Amino acid sequence: MCGIAGQIAAEAEIAERGRTDVYRNMLSSMRHRGPDQDGTFIDGCAALLHARLAIVDLENGRQPMTLIRGGQEYTLVYNGELYNTDELREQLLKKGHKFKGYSDTEVLLHSYVEWRDGCVERLNGIFAFAVWESHTRQLFLARDRIGVKPLFYANRGGSLLFASEIKTLLCHPLVQPVIDRQGLTELIAVGPGRTPGCGVFRDVREVMPGCCGYYDQQADKLTLRTYWTLADRVCSDSFETAVEKVRWLVTDAIKRQLVSDVPVCTFLSGGLDSSIISAVARRHLAEQGKVLDTMTIDYRGNDVHFHSTKFQPTSDSAYVPIMSGFLGSRQHTVVIETEQLVPALYEAVRARDLPGMADVDASLLLFCKEIRKTATVALSGECADEIFGGYPWFRDKTIRDRYGFPWAQSTDYRASFLREDLAAKIDCAGYVNERYQQTLSETPVLPLRDADETRMRQMVMLNFRWFMQTLLDRKDRMSMYSSLEVRVPFCDYRIAEYLYTLPWEYKDYKSVEKGLLRKAMRGLLPDEILWRKKSPYPKTHNPAYLTAVSDELRQVLADHDSPIFELVSRDALEGLLSADLSTPWYGQLMTTPQTIAYMLQLNYWMKQYGVKIVD
């Protein structure tokens, strides 16, 4: 993976920024995404920047990459990975294209030149890229179907700025760390989620998943279109056929994503999703005479302090040895110390550029730092629950039928943190309700679906556009902060498309979460792993963590200049120190300790980024 950025503007503006440190600073801000190589391309009214993490064809994949064909010049900056590179190359060779190397970057550029904006429908991968056409003076932008790779932009001052991360945009004087009423509402009513397309900072937007389009500098106009979204279709497959298709799709996606010229490993929790990926990866690598490295996270004290709940019934620690022994993998367990988690909260803010999922972000950041010592590429089981219906809110009818986002039933609680003067101006409930209703209205459902099938598709779309995007944000920023590329095979769009059309009774086989996936993978895993009840991403259960974040919050309260008081009531923060530990902020992974941590991140973010609030 890499970092990309650029500006399209009047030639005088580009020349002026090129003479200063602006582009150098932008490039420096994303070097963690690409420490191996960097490059800058300037052509009149265009500046393109690239920081590369070299994964495939280390020598010939350098960027920005320029291709001259038919007397016309095209220059590409690209962040991502294509998983159908070989098929595309074969098609392009038949059309007369010639290649210098074997990188997916070169294939992507030739694909664009051959098919222009129609190339995106042919791509299987995770990507965000920009192509500058020197002859038309237009910039093409595109983002992968599901939104695994980020692409932010700001269109102001007669120019377009784009970047992989918000911090890079903030290096440019046209983009200031300002939040208005909408941004403030996002932080309190929605965070750590974000409304699709919203960058929280004023003027910052994000290209939506499955979207692409052109920016015309002369007209100062960005025109984006949706080239892909989930669609409901009639599926006449029997359950047995669906089982076979799912097995093939999942296995094919994993194998495609093992392509690399650098070391590859897998996350292994001992749960279903990571175990499937690890089992397929182990077989594939064994054919090449290689041993798989599997990576596990644990927390000091969890062996003593873990207590089983309905939401988190079992600890991973008992299952990881079973699976790693079955695989014969080189097992690496990273143990996170409680005292590491508070400093990492702030580091996670610098990685995400926003307050995030508190210690869930922080622990993943620490985990990825350690993984990077072993491998450059990792495969992870994210998004299987959204696509196959694994979360409790899919299966518990009481939760499923409840109005609103199932993981965020706490709008009134959230709003209670606002300062009294701001609470009078902001309608948190109305804001959240509007976004919920919009998502339902945009959910594709065939006319003859019954109420239950309609609701299940609404649940998929809610998860797809909201909860899953928060997790993908987390995965990208926390991993790329340490120059680690994490791939997510369950995000293969072919899997998502097919599963959306299947009836719920298939997915809920034997009334077990992800029953269809379990049935499809019989024989691949030990039964105790295959049928293990879902347990979410692990977090610390050590009471020392609550003590640590509480002490940190007391320091914030003691400083009357703490910037968080511009947004949040002091009384509400003090109330957190004696709050019921079951009070949710964002799903069951963020209760009171994590709410405290989120407020710590919010305060740090406002101070570190110099955030200014405008009405």
Please state the rounded mean pLDDT for residues 485-490. Answer: 96
pLDDT for 314 equals: 64
pLDDT for 308 equals: 55
Cβ(207)–Cβ(151) under 8 Å? yes
Amino acid letter at 111? S
**Better-scored residue on pLDDT, 261 or 468:** 468
Amino acid letter at 575? G
Residue 368 to residue 484: CA distance in whole angstroms: 7
Burial label for 191, CB within 10 Å (0-12, 13-18, 19+), is buried
Residue 170 to residue 28: CA distance in whole angstroms: 12
Q: What are phi and psi of 482, to 5 degrees?
A: -110, 20
Q: How far is CA 422 from CA 215, 417, 429, 512, 564, in A?
A: 37, 10, 14, 45, 13
Question: In terms of Cα–Cα distance, which of 155, 66, 156, 79 is closest to 112?
Answer: 66
Q: Does residue 60 register a pLDDT over 90? A: no
User: Quick one: tokens of 559?
Assistant: 């400083």
**List of long-range contacts for 148-151, beta carbons under 8 Å, 24+ apart:** 148/80, 148/472, 148/476, 148/488, 148/491, 149/1, 149/79, 149/80, 149/476, 150/206, 150/473, 150/476, 150/477, 151/4, 151/79, 151/206, 151/207
Q: Does residue 331 register a pLDDT over 80? A: yes
Residues with Cβ within 8 Å of residue 479, at least 6 apart in sequence: 364, 368, 378, 485, 486
Cβ(61)–Cβ(101) under 8 Å? yes
pLDDT for 333 equals: 96
H/E run at residue 324: helix 320-327
- For 186-245, the pLDDT digits (tens) are 999 999 999 999 999 999 999 999 999 999 998 999 999 999 999 999 999 999 999 999
pLDDT for 178 equals: 98
Cβ(361)–Cβ(478) under 8 Å? yes
Question: In terms of Cα–Cα distance, which of 148, 215, 113, 205 is closest to 490?
Answer: 148
Q: Does residue 540 register a pLDDT over 80? A: no
Q: Does residue 56 register a pLDDT over 80? A: no
Q: Does residue 302 register a pLDDT over 90? A: no
Residue 509 to residue 327: CA distance in whole angstroms: 26
Cβ(105)–Cβ(75) under 8 Å? no
Q: Does residue 305 register a pLDDT over 70? A: no
**Better-scored residue on pLDDT, 540 or 514:** 514
Residue 590 to residue 193: CA distance in whole angstroms: 12
Q: Which of 350-354, 376-380, 576-580 has the lowest mean pLDDT?
A: 576-580
Q: How far is CA 85 from CA 47, 56, 264, in A?
A: 27, 11, 19
User: Quick one: tokens of 302?
Assistant: 């969890």
Which CATH superfamily does the domain covering 2-226 fall into?
Aminohydrolase, N-terminal nucleophile (Ntn) domain (3.60.20.10)
pLDDT for 260 equals: 84
User: Quick one: tokens of 541?
Assistant: 């259960």
Residues with Cβ within 8 Å of residue 530, at least 6 apart in sequence: 272, 518, 521, 522, 524
Of 3.40.50.450, 3.40.309.10, 3.40.50.720, 3.40.50.620, the CATH number of 239-530 is 3.40.50.620
The domain segmentation of the chain, as residue ranges, is 2-226, 239-530, 543-613
Please state the rounded mean pLDDT for residues 27-36. Answer: 94
pLDDT for 135 equals: 93
Q: Does residue 535 register a pLDDT over 70? A: yes
H/E run at residue 67: strand 65-69
Cβ(348)–Cβ(607) under 8 Å? no
Residue 323 to residue 320: CA distance in whole angstroms: 5
pTM of the entire predicted model: 0.96
Residues with Cβ within 8 Å of residue 65, at least 6 apart in sequence: 75, 76, 77, 78, 105, 106, 109
Q: Does residue 263 register a pLDDT over 80? A: yes
Question: In terms of Cα–Cα distance, which of 393, 380, 390 is closest to 499?
Answer: 390
- For 563-578, the pLDDT digits (tens) are 999 999 999 999 999 8
Strand, coil or helix: what is 376?
coil
- Mean pLDDT over all residues of the chain? 93
Q: Does residue 304 register a pLDDT over 80? A: no
Residue 332 to residue 373: CA distance in whole angstroms: 11
Please state the rounded mean pLDDT for residues 388-396. Answer: 92
pLDDT for 306 equals: 58
Please state the rounded mean pLDDT for residues 588-610. Answer: 94
- For 108-131, the pLDDT digits (tens) are 999 999 999 999 999 999 999 999
Cβ(614)–Cβ(359) under 8 Å? no
Q: 212-229 b/e with 16+ CB inside 10 Å = b?
A: bbbbebeebebebeebbb
Query: Hey, do 2-226 and 239-530 end up sharing a CATH topology, with the first three levels equal?
Result: no
- For 422-479, the pLDDT digits (tens) are 999 999 999 999 999 999 999 999 998 999 999 999 999 999 999 999 999 999 999 9
Q: Does residue 57 register a pLDDT over 90? A: no
Q: Does residue 595 register a pLDDT over 80? A: yes
Amino acid letter at 62? R
User: 């511009």: which residue's tokens?
Assistant: 566
Q: Known catalytic residue: 491?
A: no
Question: In terms of Cα–Cα distance, which of 3, 57, 8 is closest to 32?
Answer: 3
Span between the terminal Cα atoms of the chain, in Å: 38
Q: Does residue 139 register a pLDDT over 90? A: yes
Q: 304-325 b/e with 16+ CB inside 10 Å = b?
A: eebeeeeebeebbbebbebbbe
User: Quick one: tokens of 230?
Assistant: 């989930």
Burial label for 497, CB within 10 Å (0-12, 13-18, 19+), is middle
3-state secondary structure 36-59: CEEEEEEECCEEEEEEECCCCCCC
pLDDT for 613 equals: 95
Q: Does residue 13 register a pLDDT over 80? A: yes
Helix axes 320-327, 272-286, angle to 10 degrees: 20
- For 141-157, the pLDDT digits (tens) are 999 999 999 999 999 98
Q: Does residue 58 register a pLDDT over 70? A: no
